[in-house]
Amino acid sequence: MNAPQLNWLPATDLQRALRDGAISAEELMNACLARVDEVEGQVQAWTYLDKKHALAQARARDLDRAEGRALGPLHGLPIGIKDIFDTCDMPTEDGTVLHAGRTPGYDAKAVAMLRAAGAVIMGKTVTTECANYYPGKTRNPHNPEHTPGGSSSGSAAAVAAGMVPLAIGSQTNGSVIRPAAFCGVYGFKPTHGLIPRSGVLKLSRTLDHVGVFARTIGDTALVAEALVGWDADDPDTRPRAGIPLCEIAAQEPPLEPLFAFVKPPVWDRTESETREAFAELVEELKAHIVEIELPPLTGEALDWHRVIMQADMAFNLEREYEQGRDRLSQPLCEQLEIGRAVTALQYQRALARVPQLVAGFDVMFERCAALITPSAAGTAPPGLDTTGDPSFCTIWTLCGMPALNLPIMQGGNGLPLGVQLVGARDTDAQLLRTANWLVKRLAKD
């Protein structure tokens, strides 16, 4: 293989080459680091990257293979870690000066699972301030004058720019799907509680999800499958049998899927080319899609999400606010202050509505394999003072349903335009399989 191009190969291809000895983990890491040298000055996706340490990990994986030790499913594959996941050998600063120099003595559960699967932790990717809205330094790889989205901005941009084949991030509102859409990669937010969150900056137990970024559906399934599991320190996970995401994602559906095209309550915020693109998509799918109007109650879900998120953030970031509010951004302080004013009645009422909302969507899924809807209002907005509107992801995050960005459309400005697929809770493998069918179906035309 041509080493300078290794960084662009699908992770599934690299996985086989590494296991067969066709390439070494050190060769792959050198290819990724060469790409970092080429584009990082413009993209600025990394907040911590020690090249010597990354190469040392890769050589250790090569030694595992040379000495006949068992190889994990991610053997030798580099992966970027959003800088809100604790890492025992690298700083974890959460995008805020208040945590500058913080070096945990342990790994987040998700990071530990990646290491156990044989992955090489390449470095820490940029997050917005405390995984909220205030932007970090990262720029969109397709046009540095546009935002990459947030809060998992560095993870999405690093994968899109070819610096690393895989990365992980988190979503409390739209922080996986939106940057994946803006950067033109696959972004997968699984069912709530599927991937453990212990050792990750906590904003909201109800809303926080771990998500993944990749450049193919197969790669998405590969890294997500290694992260599914129970964790005694995360009460929303549960003991379960392994989910063969890779195997199921690659299968043909037993029946050709029917999609429900839904316009979210914020449809009026979509750009004209987004509306035109989805009209063309609906026309293209014809017999495989129906348009379903969401009930008026769905519009209130945005307020329920806001109440839960702001109240939980105010609680979980109380120390930062109390002791360091003068070093937090004004937008974050304003959110925390609103959250501190939420009453117990408002909070409990919002929580109580979620199961009703999920039950309403379950009726749709009795007929349809997945909902299809925009990932964002349009392509990545110009400027770096905002990460874009997350509202197109809000309902699906609130409901804890799996969602996947498909980078299959493009705006008139040449930037990616995302399509979001949403499935019923605990149908993650089927959602990936449905997405694979859709991508292949559109590629034939």
Counting Cα atoms < 13 Å in the Cβ hemisphere of 2 gives: 4
What's the token pair of residue 59?
Answer: 């050589």
- Listed in sequence order, the DSSP H helices in 209-317 are 217-227, 245-249, 272-285, 297-316
Angle at 306 between CA 302 and CA 312, to 5 degrees: 145
Q: What angle do CA 206, 211, 214 make, to 5 degrees?
A: 165
The Cα–Cα gap between 365 and 425 comes to: 10
Could you tell me whether strands 186-189 and 209-214 are parallel, antiparallel, or unpaired per DSSP bridges? antiparallel
Which residues are CB-neighbours of 177 under 8 A, at least 6 positions away? 171, 187, 189, 211, 375, 376, 392, 393, 403, 404, 405, 418, 420
Instruction: Write the CB contacts of 417 (distance below 8 Å, at least 6 apart in sequence).
Output: 181, 273, 274, 277, 378, 379, 409, 410, 411
Of 137, 139, 119, residue with least CA distance to 127: 137
Given the residues 82, 109, 124, 189, the one annotated as active site: 82
Taking a C-beta distance cutoff of 8 angstroms, is the pair 381, 388 a contact? yes
Whether 175 is a known active-site residue: answer yes
| Both tokens assigned to 62 | 């090569």
Number of other residues whose CB lies within 10 A of the CB of residue 144: 14
Q: Which two tokens stand for residue 149?
A: 């989205």
Active site residue 82: yes
Which residue is listed with tokens 């129906």?
290
Which residues, listed in sequence order, are joined to residue 372 by a DSSP beta bridge? Answer: 261, 421
Nearest to residue 59, comparing CAs of 101, 30, 22? Answer: 30
Write down the catalytic residue from 175, 198, 204, 375. Answer: 175
Question: Which residue do the tokens 């320190």 mark?
Answer: 233
Cβ pair 211, 196 in contact under 8 A? no
- The active-site residue, picked from 151, 152, 155, 375, is 151
Catalytic residues: 82, 151, 175
